[in-house]
Amino acid sequence: MCGIVGYVGPRQATPILMEGLRRMEYRGYDSAGIAVLDGHHLDIRKAAGKLGILVDEIAGCPPHGTTGIGHTRWATHGGPTTINAHPHTDQSGRIALIHNGIIENAPAIKQALLDRGHVFKSETDTEVLAHLVGAFYEGNLEEAVASALRDVDGAYGICVVSTDEPDVLIVARNGSPIILGIGDGENLVASDQSALVEHTRSVVYLDNGEMAILKADGYRVRTLTSRHVDKPVNQIEWDLATIERGGFEHFMLKEIFEQPESVENTMRGHLLEETGNVRVYGLKLSDEQIKGIKRIIITACGTSWHSGLIGKYMIEEMARIPTEVEYASEFRYRNPIVDAHTLVIAISQSGETADTLAALGEAKQRGARTLGLVNVVGSTIAREVDGGLYLRCGPEVGVASTKAFTSQVMALAMVTLRLARLRAMSLLDGQRYIQAMLKLPSQIRSILDRAPEVELLAERFANATNALYLGRGVNFPVALEGALKLKEISYIHAEGYPAAEMKHGPIALIDENMPVVVVAPRDAVHAKIVSNIQEVRARGGKVIAIVNAGDEEISRLAEATFIVPVTLDLLTPVLTIIPLQLFSYYVAVRRGCNVDQPRNLAKSVTVE
C-alpha cells in the first residue's frame, strides 16, 4: 500500500526513482509522482493512474538532478487524481514531501493553517503535513520536520526534500515502514526492500519515533526529541532475480509454481524426524513456559486470517489448547480477555500490516506472550514480538497471496507440533506428522504438473457472475481462501461457507448458473459433504469438486473434479488450496483482468 523511494548521491535521480517505483507497483496504487532537485530548483511531475502514464509524461524531458523522492499513492484522503498525487509542497513551494499513512489530526492542523493564510490545492492530509513542515522551517529542514511531527497524531512514513538544502533527504517513521539503503557514496530510502536491492543489500530499518538524515556521504538516525540512535546494518538475503517473473506471464503464476520450494524452505532445518519433534529456536519459549500456555489467540487479516483458522483446527486437535482466531482489525477495539497465560500469534506476510501491528501492541500491553509468523526479515512485527518464525518463502510480489498462505500453514503446523509433543502427542504420532509434512512438496509438484486440467475448468466457468465455495472442518478455511482468491483477481462475486451452513441461507442463490466449488478430500467428514453436494445438485448447481483419487461417489455427482494426493486430514489444506489458486488465476486471465495488480487492492495494508 503506497510506495516511497528516495535517492541522494552522484547519479541522476530520476531513473533510480522510476525503477524503484516500478519495483513497488505490486503493493497497489492509483497515482504516482516524483520530485527532483537540480541545485535550488524543484521539478515535480505526477499523474493519476498507472506508472506508465507518468513514464510517458516525463519521457521527452525527464527531471535532472541528483537528489529526489518518488511515490505511488493508494487513495485515502481525496480521490485518485493528479492534484492529490504525491509529492506535495508547502506554502512556499520550496519543500516537497511524500507520505504513507494517515494523519488523524489533519483537519485541526489544516484549520489552524488556513487561519494563518495558507492555501491548499488538494484534499490530502499529506499536503497539510507539508504545509506544517514549511510553517516550522527556519533554515533547518531537520528541525522543521521534527517539530512538525511532534504536533502530529497518526501513522506516517515520510520523505522530505527542500530547495534550500538540496543535498539532504529527511525521512521519519511512525507505524509505516521506512528502510534506509546504505550505498557507496550514495544513500537511498524506500518503504520496501524491492526498491533497494538493485543498488545495495545493506539496509537499516527505522523504528517508530525515529527519523534519519541522509546525504551522499553518510546518514544518521535520531528520535524526534534529538536523541542519537545507533542502528544495526542488516543484509537483504535475496537478489534481484527473485523478484523477476522468470519466464512466467504473471508473478502470481510464478509464485503458485514456487510452492514446492517455498513450503520446503519454510520447513528446512526445523523437522526432527527421529524424535518426532521440531526445532524452533525462534519461539524463545522454554518447555515450562509452553506447558503454561492455557489459551492461544491468533490474530491476522485476509489470507493470513484464513491460515490462522487452519491453525486453530491444528492446535486444538493436536495440542488440545483452546484457540481463537481474531480479525486484527476488530481485536484491539473489543476489550479482549488476555493475560500472561495467553499466547498471541500474529500472522502477516509483510510484517507491516497496520491492523495486525495494533492488535499485537494491545496483546503485549495486556501481558500476553507474543509470537510472529512473517515473511519479511526485519519487518516491524518481527522486531516487536517476543519470538517467532520467518516463513522464508521468498518475496511475494503478486497482490493475491499464494505461496505465503501455504508457508503460513506449514509454520502453524510446526508450532502446533512443538506444542503437542510437550503435551499429549506420542513419539509415533509426531513422526507420522513429520513424514507427511516432508511429502508435501512433491505432492504439490504433482498437482502443478496437471495445471492444464485446471485451465480447462476455468475456461468452462469464466463467465460466471457468482460462485459459492464449500468446505467442512479444516477445509472450510480453504473454501474461504479459494473464494477470496477468485473475487480478488477476477472480480467475480464469490463466498466461502461451511458446507453444512449452506442450507441456512446461501442455498437460496443456487441455480443452474451458479458454480459451486466443493473441497471434499476423503477425510473424517467426507460422508457429510457428499450429502451437501447432493443438495446442490438437486437445485441445479454446477459442482466442481476437489477430491482424492478413487472417489467415484462424488465423481458421479459433480460437473467436474480435480484430484489431489492423500495426506493427513489436518495437512490437506496445503494441497486442496493449490487447484483453487490456479482456478482463480486462469479465470482472471480468461476475463482479461490485471492479475498481479487487481483494482483497489494493496499488497501491504499499512493504514487502518
Residues with a catalytic annotation lie at 2, 603
Q: How far is CA 11 from the centre of its chain?
A: 32
Give Cβ neighbours of residue 330 (< 8 Å, ≥ 6 apart). Answer: none
Nearest to 323 by CA among 344, 353, 292, 304: 344
Backbone angles phi, psi at 124, to 5 degrees: -90, 150
For cell 443438495, the residue is 535
Nearest to 259 by CA among 573, 593, 590, 603: 573
Label residue 247 left, alpha or beta by phi (over 0 means left) and psi (-120 to 50 means alpha).
left
Give Cβ neighbours of residue 101 (< 8 Å, ≥ 6 apart). Answer: 154, 155, 156, 157, 174, 175, 176, 606, 607
For cell 491444528, the residue is 314
DSSP, res 207: P
Residue 542 vs residues 16, 423, 457, 539: alpha-carbon distances, Å: 51, 45, 12, 9
Q: Are 587 and 462 in contact (CB under 8 A)?
A: yes
3-state secondary structure of 433: helix
Nearest to 471 by CA among 555, 580, 338: 580
Distance CA 486, CA 501 (A): 21
**How many degrees, rounded to 5, is the angle at CA 460 between CA 477 and CA 493?**
45
Distance CA 444, CA 255 (A): 13
Distance CA 12, CA 20 (A): 13
Exposure string (b/e) for 249-260, b if CB count within 10 Å is 16 or more? ebbbbbbbbbbb
Q: Which stretch of DSSP H or E encloses residue 260?
A: helix 259-267
**How many degrees, rounded to 5, is the angle at CA 108 between CA 106 and CA 112?**
110
